[in-house]
Structure 1
Amino acid sequence: MKNEQWDIEVEILKEIIAKTELVETNKWGGCVYVYNNKNVVGVGGFKNFFTLWFFNGAFLKDEKKHLINANEGVTKSLRQWRFTSKDDINEKEILSYIQEAIENKKQGKINKPEKIRTEVIIPDLLQKELDTDSILNEAFLKFSPYKQKEFIEYIETAKREETKISRIEKIKPMILDNIGLNDKYR
């Protein structure tokens, strides 16, 4: 069931946004405005407030201190401007924030999620094999860190050293033939 509590207020925000060069779309069941198909601002009503959310709001100056991070510690860029009454709507300020967001989008200011890079730690038994066989070492290093970790995990999950050694012997031909441990399942 749709929350109709803020329909009039949301329509007022939409009329303000319509004065900009943004294009209205519908994403994730909500109203989103884009510039060159890139998300800039969304609008919607919730139980206790209606809001504008700026997809890269972290880059806005926010001199009037309207913006909040709705999920501190999790959300990196998204910022909300919450309203609880039609009287809270200040068209001039809203247009100023939206214009700044559009300019940031034009300048390519975006906050991409950081990729977590973890170093591949090669267990001693495998490292000894790689050190004694340069062709095997070279072949192993050609694999992505993800596939290297699959081999390492396969070896390290064995409890006994004899099993670890037999697993290394089993994967050597795969490594030399550039076949990942789980390639046949992909």
Structure 2
Amino acid sequence: MKLVLASQSPARLSVLRSAGIEPVVIVSGVDESRLDGLPPDELALQLAELKCAAVAGRDDVPEGALVVGCDSVLDLGGEALGKPEDAADAVRRWQAMRGRSGVLHTGHCLRDTATGHVAAAVGSTTVHFADVTDEEIAAYVATGEPLHVAGAFTVDGLGAAFITGIEGDHHNVVGLSLPLLRDLVAELGHAWPDLWSGRVADV
């Protein structure tokens, strides 16, 4: 069973590879700003559904593949925060986030191209941010890392030192929840081990 990842995120690709899955990567090209105004969890789910649908209908998708689309949004006091617009926006984000907690919502949408059936859900993980200094914020933003990720932080990169704890699935914060994806695969009638690449299955 082949899995198609409708995302250019290297973090999501790494999560799948670490779980024994070698997906085909096809970037959706969906405009993530088109659904502004929705609650954070609903925004994450709808963007995931749009990404999945945009890729599932393409001719270069392997026959019978499962297509997964994901999108992450940080809920900070009810405000939906995706990727920062620029460095100044990332600095403002961190000044608002430090010493506080937010909820990282990741929408997951899985489509079986053989049947057309779709399963979708949102994974939510609480993230506790350290009370970082202005100097630390400036240095972190200068690396460029927070400019490319939802919420302007990572839990698996340079930003990890600024996260004091999480409540929920770690991989959901990275951008793709493996337990949730497994549930969606089962909902569509497939077995998780069928997605493992050959070298893993042969071990």
Q: What is the TM-score of this pair, normalised by structure 2?
A: 0.26
Q: What is the TM-score of this pair, normalised by structure 1?
A: 0.28
Query: Where is the strand percentage greater, Structure 1 or Structure 2?
Result: 2
Bigger CA radius of gyration: 1
